[in-house]
Amino acid sequence: SYVLTQPPSVSVAPGKTASLTCGGDNIGRKSVHWYQQKPGQAPVLVIYNDDDRPSGIPERFSGSNSGNTAILTISRVEAGDEADYYCQVWDTSDHWAFGGGAKLTVL
């Protein structure tokens, strides 16, 4: 099975930049998608295909993917960005794999 590794928690001050990582074997060869999930709500797709934003997602959200690490970057972090973030890839073995999730705390 394909394993995606995310640090359980990330903290950032308002107005600063948050970098959330997602590690996987040669993940740079795959398309990575990112979801934001706030408590009690369904996940929201914030980045797809490494660095594309769905309509309605602020430009503050961006992504990159290379080697063994994909990164979701949130610029000018706001209190409303506090949430759990999950990375996702399609793999031929497990089909859809999710990372364990990272809780973003805005200090």
Nearest distance from C-beta of residue 100 to another protein, angstroms? 5
SS3 content of the chain, % helix, strand, coil (to 5): 5, 50, 45
Site residues, another protein (CB under 8 A): 31, 33, 35, 37, 41-45, 48, 54, 86, 88, 90, 93-101
Compute the CA torsion angle 97, 25, 54, 85 (nearest 10 deg): 70
Nearest distance from C-beta of residue 41 to another protein, angstroms? 8
Task: Return the number of the residue (16 or 38) whose C-beta is nearest another protein.
Answer: 38
Q: Could you say which DSSP state residue 93 is in?
A: T
